[in-house]
A and B are shown apart, each in its own frame.
Chain A
């Protein structure tokens, strides 16, 4: 998968992962893919709700060694 922008929010807690993701996606073109890396378990569901609500597409998400990775295509 081609990633256009990576947002590294590791070590940051709520609300920063979503705040940073929003900032990045605002600067991107429709169809581009953003990767979010976060270690904050608490914001996993928030991030999913936010993606759904803003009509972007959550392509996939996975967890690896405590790092949550989300791939979102901008609408």
Chain B
């Protein structure tokens, strides 16, 4: 008898449904410590597959007999090898289709708002902690911060009978490859980005817009010079209710201001952003960021990563630190030195200076959710 195969979608839906998920990760220790599948109800154990070359016996006491075991490896082969042995030994084992490679390309789309002619979806690339958004109104769709697998967005829009007409990037990303240009090619939509981000391909300069009118949707462009890993980040305020905050505000904190080598100057900008621009926005506005750091604490039970601005202000000490010197000291201190993997190459690609093959793109993006480094504690 051989083990069953389970897809990334099934695994994530089990996590969402709060089912216990027991994962036996058979990659080597270093890879496991670098990144793994996480969730509130996930228990995971790392035993490399080569420890199973002499059979399962030595490990049986560490594995549950009474619940399913999901075996996970880098690309599937080794997890199947181990899962088959566990099934032979009488355990309820399955393996993850395509392994962590497939997990790194898994997207979960969920509606945040569903009104008659206004829908807002959050598209979560779970493994990377990257969030993008699709706004649909009267047959047209706007996509914000699309990731590389652009068919996800095209299919989502099609399901609502909409055509993608607007594509926006909140900033030039450093941690993942933007899907914007690919999506522009496939849809012919207009693409918006701040000119100051230095991309060397055609786009509408967001500097020229205060607002993007789009059927029933009013998208206010809050062009805040966001201290962070780029000189010009933007937040978008939709229908006065939803703040798509890019990398400026997260559920768990603020964007880090240290990636440009001008931490003092940008921390100052961040202070002005928080206490001038954001301060004017009401508490009941829902903040929908471009990243999460910790899925266990930042994703709500409905699967949405978001929080009201009021709660974010209340729960984050840094948002209450109005004393400028104290704020600057804290922000500068908490800026970590760990940078997203391959970030220089990824920035080069997003700027239009490098063109990777699709295999290279997979390799560059694979790895941990290091979006955490964008956060200040």
Contacts and interface: CB of A to CB of B under 8 A. Distances in A.
Contact of B53 (A14, A18, A45): A18
Interface stretch (B69-77, B148-156, B210-218): B69-77
A42 to B, nearest CB: 5
A46 B77 contact: no
In this complex, the interface size class of chain A, counting residues with CB under 8 Å from chain B, is 10 to 19
B29 A46 contact: no
A59 interface: no
A69 interface: no
B78 interface: yes
Contact of B50 (A13, A42, A53): A53
Contacts of A50: 48, 50, 53
Interface of B: 27-31, 48-51, 53, 73-75, 77-78, 81
Given A15-B78, A45-B28, 8 more contacts: A15-B81, A16-B77, A18-B49, A19-B53, A42-B74, A42-B75, A45-B31, A49-B48
Interface in A10-25: 13-16, 18-19, 22
Contacts of A22: 50, 53
Contacts of B51: 53
Interface of A: 13-16, 18-19, 22, 42, 45-46, 49-50, 53
A49 to B, nearest CB: 5
Contacts of A15: 49-50, 77-78, 81
A13 B14 CA distance: 29
B77 A45 contact: no
B53 A49 contact: no
A5 B244 CA distance: 61
Nearest to A12: B77
The 6 closest A-B pairs by CB, nearest first: A15-B78, A50-B50, A14-B77, A14-B78, A49-B28, A22-B53
Contacts of A46: 27-28, 48-50, 78
Given A18-B50, A18-B53, A22-B50, A49 B74 contact: no
A50 B50 CA distance: 6
Nearest to A15: B78
Contact of A45 (B30, B49, B78): B30
Contact of A49 (B50, B73, B77, B81): B50
